[in-house]
């Protein structure tokens, strides 16, 4: 009986899924996950399950970290006898709202190009006997479906774990259920709001700007949106304390505060100003949804329908005002034709390739977030300065930025751009005589050295004296050189021209290396440097260690020259097992 029912249901679903409209919706949903790039071989090989798990991870992880805060045993040990879990949950609720908006917003920015139907959709679908409105409606349905899936996925773990953690001390299912539904409703609505807010921004730009101008502005706008989301995340620990000053504080303009107001409104715990912000959240969500549909319809009409009338070629980015830099670098830094060509190729790719720009921007944004956390901690903790010297947190800020930029650059070098075009390098380079490491080192330092000299040195020098400024600039530069050389060990590829390394095989080791590296490069170094600033012997020792490390790494680079030094264009994953073939020759 059951199998017959299942069989019938399956047959009906099969028939339904083969309808043209359903097939179109499936196509558009698949396209968002697979990207709209020309070559799928250039896309990072992440399975759908892995992507969904990664998106759900931050919320679940943070919920588990809160066990300590809501633990009854720890409350008892701290002497907290009148613990109100819902009142204590307010800052955490705010953080979850911000996290949900940030993750969803970043995904919307990441998949920016895939949300709207493009030239390829036009070429494949429009010549077929399907009405244009079917394409329009199918893409709209796909967008709505994906938004719901995304909102569910990003908040699924926290929607279960966080209410569980908060209500654990009370042992009542009623409280758990109440926290669960309110939390789940609010964070999902916040996610949807965030997704459609990004969507409206893209749509408005597409409607108002010429195509070429839109493409040119797109990267900068995406960077700005990510920076805004990162700033929301970075300030999420500070905002809840400002809520007491509502409505006088500027925090009332922050969308996450509206959703926190909605959360408190539903729970019946909102102050009048917070309750009114809760209503703003509801009105705002509805308005953004309507605006998204309207801008989508307008941009569909203006851009998609007119694709054959627009030119496919996008004019190259004009950088005429910066072109004088290259001859100067040729004379001073780029010592060979390989370095000159490679430097230009990499810089232009970074400036023009959205994927590379976004990944590097993501690392830089992470650096800004962590740096702001350190700055925040130094303001709220001890002091921004101890005596006439900067605190360890303030010392750490340039190190954090440098660490994130160098790691970001090294990571970005492994992301290929149009693999099929690398034949020009294969054809024209001598595989055994290349200068990939010096080229990569110079590229990395281009992104570190200028701001160390132009910002760190004068800023720290002005605030804490030139001795501190110069010493700090020297430490940041030397340590950056060491990190760059460490990450470039056995580097033998022209950036962007080699296939992806097997990230999935070594992801855990890489993550551990990143965390450990951060501890050594930032935390330990900043504390040692802070100590060294007040103690010349420590500073001298620190500088000697850094010079030695750098020298040691240079020797290692020279030592392994000739071993596996051949330029590569294909990364091969290590075989699970290899035959030793001991029988050969017997």
- Helix/strand/coil (H/E/C) assignment for every residue in 466-491: HHHHHHHHHHHHHHHHHHHHHHCCCC
Shortest distance, CB of residue 19 to another protein, whole angstroms? 8
**Position 27 contacts another protein (CB under 8 A):** yes
Q: Is 38 in the site for another protein (CB under 8 A)?
A: yes
Tell me the C-alpha to C-alpha distance, in Å, between residue 314 and each of 91, 128, 201, 310.
46, 27, 21, 10
Q: Residue 150: in which H helix or E strand, if any?
A: helix 132-167
CA 71 to chain centre: 32
Contact 566, 435 (CB under 8 A): no
Binding to another protein by residue 47, rule CB under 8 A? no
Selected from 44, 52, 88, 130, the binder of another protein by CB under 8 A is 130
Q: How far apart are the C-alpha atoms of 449 and 586, rounded to whole Å?
A: 59
Between 125 and 243, name the residue whose CB sits nearer to another protein: 125
| 39 lies in the site for another protein, by CB under 8 A | yes
Answer for the pair 357, 112: CB distance below 8 angstroms, yes or no. no
In the chain, DSSP finds a helix count (H) and a strand count (E) of 27, 2
| Residue with Cβ nearer another protein (117 or 203) | 117
Report if residue 308 touches another protein, rule: CB under 8 A: yes
39 or 388: CB nearest another protein: 39
Instruction: Provide, rounded to whole angstroms, the least separation between the CB of residue 313 and another protein.
Output: 13
Q: Is 34 in the site for another protein (CB under 8 A)?
A: yes
Q: Least CB distance from residue 109 to another protein, whole Å?
A: 21
Among 8, 124, 540, 554, binds another protein (CB under 8 A): 124
Nearer CB in complex with another protein: 24/226: 24
| Cross-strand partners of 389 | 386
Q: Within its chain, how far is the Cα of 296 from the centroid?
A: 26
Q: Which two tokens stand for residue 401?
A: 């930025």
Minimum CB distance to another protein smaller for 45 or for 505: 45
Q: Which is nearer to another protein, 19 or 555 (CB)?
A: 19
Provide the minimum distance between the beta carbon of 114 and another protein in the complex, in angstroms, as a whole number. Answer: 11
Segment interacting with another protein (CB under 8 A) among 116-124, 332-340, 528-536, 578-586: 116-124
Q: How far is the CB of 119 from another protein (least distance, A)?
A: 7
Binders of another protein among residues 272 to 301 (CB under 8 A) are none
Count other C-beta atoms under 10 Å from residue 497's C-beta: 25
The residues in 359-418 that bind another protein, with binding defined as CB under 8 A, are none
Candidates 309, 430, 564, 581; binder of another protein (CB under 8 A) is: 309
**Minimal distance, residue 139 CB to another protein, in Å:** 14
Which of 14-22, 93-101, 357-365, 536-544 is the region at the interface with another protein (rule: CB under 8 A)? 14-22
Residue number with CB closer to another protein (310 or 540): 310
When asked if residue 142 is in the footprint of another protein (CB under 8 A), the reply is: no
Q: How far apart are CA 108 and CA 154, in angstroms?
A: 12
Length of the chain: 586
CB 15, min distance to another protein, A: 9
b/e code 21-31 from CB counts within 10 Å (16+ = b): eeebbebbbeb
| CA 189/CA 201 separation, integer angstroms | 18
126 binds another protein (CB under 8 A): yes
Q: Is 45 in the site for another protein (CB under 8 A)?
A: no
583 binds another protein, rule: CB under 8 A: no
DSSP label of 204: H
Angle in degrees, CA 294, 297, 298, rounded to 5: 85
We find the least distance from the C-beta atom of residue 7 to another protein, in angstroms, to be: 18
Match 């970005």 to its residue by tokens: 412
CB atoms within 10 A of CB 98: 27
Q: Minimum distance between the CB of residue 34 and another protein, rounded to whole angstroms?
A: 4
Q: Computed over its alpha carbons, how large is the radius of gyration of the chain? A: 27
Instruction: Work out whether 30 is an interface residue with another protein (CB under 8 A).
Output: yes
CB of 16 to another protein, least distance (A): 12
* 131 in contact with another protein (CB under 8 A): yes
Task: Identify the residue among 6, 13, 16, 41 touching another protein (CB under 8 A).
Answer: 41
Nearer to another protein, 10 or 555 (CB): 10
Strand partners, 386: 389
Q: Which DSSP category does 564 fall into?
A: S
CB-based burial, 467-486: b 16+ in 10 Å, e otherwise: ebbebbbebbbbbbbbbbbb
**Residue 7 interacts with another protein (CB under 8 A)?**
no
- Residue 49 found at the interface with another protein (CB under 8 A): no
Per the DSSP assignment, residues forming a β-bridge with 385 are 390
Sign of CA dihedral 283, 289, 294, 299: positive
Question: Exposed, middle or buried: residue 18 (CB in 10 Å: 0-12, 13-18, 19+)?
Answer: exposed
Least Å distance between CB 552 and another protein? 43
- Choice from 44, 91, 119, 209 touching another protein (CB under 8 A): 119
Does residue 505 belong to the site contacting another protein (CB under 8 A)? Answer: no
CB of 32 to another protein, least distance (A): 11
Determine which residue in the list 9, 16, 20, 208 makes contact with another protein, applying CB under 8 A. Answer: 20
**Is position 125 an interface residue for another protein (rule: CB under 8 A)?**
yes
Please count the residues of this chain forming the interface with another protein, following the rule CB under 8 A. 29
Region from 27-35, 76-84, 248-256, 262-270 binding another protein, contact rule CB under 8 A: 27-35
Instruction: Give dist(CA 506, CA 58) in Å, integer.
Output: 21
25 contacts another protein (rule: CB under 8 A)? no
In angstroms, the CA 493 to CA 572 distance is 13
Q: In angstroms, rounded to a whole number, what is the distance separating the alpha carbons of residues 139 and 457? A: 52
Footprint of another protein on this chain (CB under 8 A)?
A: 18-20, 23-24, 27, 30-31, 34-35, 37-41, 119-120, 122-131, 308-309
């Amino acid at each position: 009986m059951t199998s017959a029912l299942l069989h019938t249901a399956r047959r009906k679903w099969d028939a339904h899924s083969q309808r043209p409209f359903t097939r179109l919706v499936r196509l558009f949903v698949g396209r968002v996950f697979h990207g709209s790039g020309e070559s799928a071989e250039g896309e990072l090989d992440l399975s759908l399950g892995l992507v969904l798990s990664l998106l759900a991870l931050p919320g679940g992880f943070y919920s588990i970290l809160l066990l300590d805060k809501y633990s009854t045993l720890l409350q008892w040990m701290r002497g907290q006898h009148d613990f109100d879990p819902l009142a204590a949950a307010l800052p955490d609720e705010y953080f979850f709202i911000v996290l949900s908006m940030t993750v969803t917003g970043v995904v919307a920015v990441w998949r920016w190009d895939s949300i709207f139907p493009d030239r390829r959709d036009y070429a494949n679908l429009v010549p077929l006997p399907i009405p244009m409105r079917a394409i329009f409606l199918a893409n709209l349905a796909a967008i709505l479906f994906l938004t719901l899936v995304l909102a569910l996925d990003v908040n699924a773990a926290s929607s279960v774990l966080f209410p569980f953690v908060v209500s654990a001390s009370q042992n009542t299912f009623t409280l758990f259920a109440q926290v669960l539904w309110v939390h789940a409703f609010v964070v999902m609505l916040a996610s949807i709001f965030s997704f459609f807010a990004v969507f409206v921004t893209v749509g408005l730009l597409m409607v108002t700007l010429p195509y070429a101008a839109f493409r040119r502005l797109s990267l900068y706008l995406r960077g700005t949106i990510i920076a805004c989301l990162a700033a929301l995340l970075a300030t999420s620990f500070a905002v809840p304390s400002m809520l007491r000053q509502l409505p006088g504080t500027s925090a009332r303009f922050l969308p996450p505060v509206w959703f926190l107001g909605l959360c408190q409104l539903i729970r019946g715990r909102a102050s009048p100003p917070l309750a009114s912000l809760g209503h703003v959240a509801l009105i705002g969500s509805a308005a953004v949804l309507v605006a998204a549909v309207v801008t989508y319809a307008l941009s569909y009409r203006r851009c998609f329908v007119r694709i054959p009338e627009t030119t496919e070629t996008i004019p190259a980015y004009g950088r005429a005002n910066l072109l004088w830099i290259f001859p100067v670098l040729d004379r001073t830094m780029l010592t060979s034709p390989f370095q000159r060509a490679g430097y230009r190729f990499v810089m232009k790719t970074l400036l023009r390739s959205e994927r590379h720009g976004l990944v590097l921007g993501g690392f830089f944004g992470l650096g800004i977030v962590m740096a702001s956390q350190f700055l925040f901690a130094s303001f709220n903790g001890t002091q921004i300065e101890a005596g006439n010297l900067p605190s360890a947190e303030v010392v750490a800020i340039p190190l954090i930025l440098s660490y994130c930029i160098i790691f970001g650059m090294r990571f970005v070098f492994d992301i290929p751009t149009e693999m099929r075009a690398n034949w020009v390098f294969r054809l024209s380079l001598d595989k055994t005589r290349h200068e990939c490491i010096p080229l990569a080192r110079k590229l990395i330092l281009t992104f570190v050295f200028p701001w160390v000299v132009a910002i760190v040195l004068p800023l720290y020098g002005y605030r804490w004296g030139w001795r501190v400024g110069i010493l700090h600039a020297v430490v940041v530069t030397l340590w950056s050189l060491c990190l760059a050389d460490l990450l470039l060990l056995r580097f033998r590829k022209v950036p962007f021209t080699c296939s992806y390394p097997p990230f999935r095989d070594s992801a855990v080791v890489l993550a551990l290396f990143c965390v450990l590296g951060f501890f050594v490069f930032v935390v330990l170094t900043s504390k040692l440097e802070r100590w060294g600033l007040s103690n010349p012997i420590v500073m001298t020792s620190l500088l000697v260690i850094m010079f030695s490390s750098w020298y040691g790494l240079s020797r290692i680079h020279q030592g392994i020259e000739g071993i596996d030094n051949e330029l590569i264009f294909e990364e091969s994953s290590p075989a699970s097992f290899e035959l030793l073939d001991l029988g050969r020759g017997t």
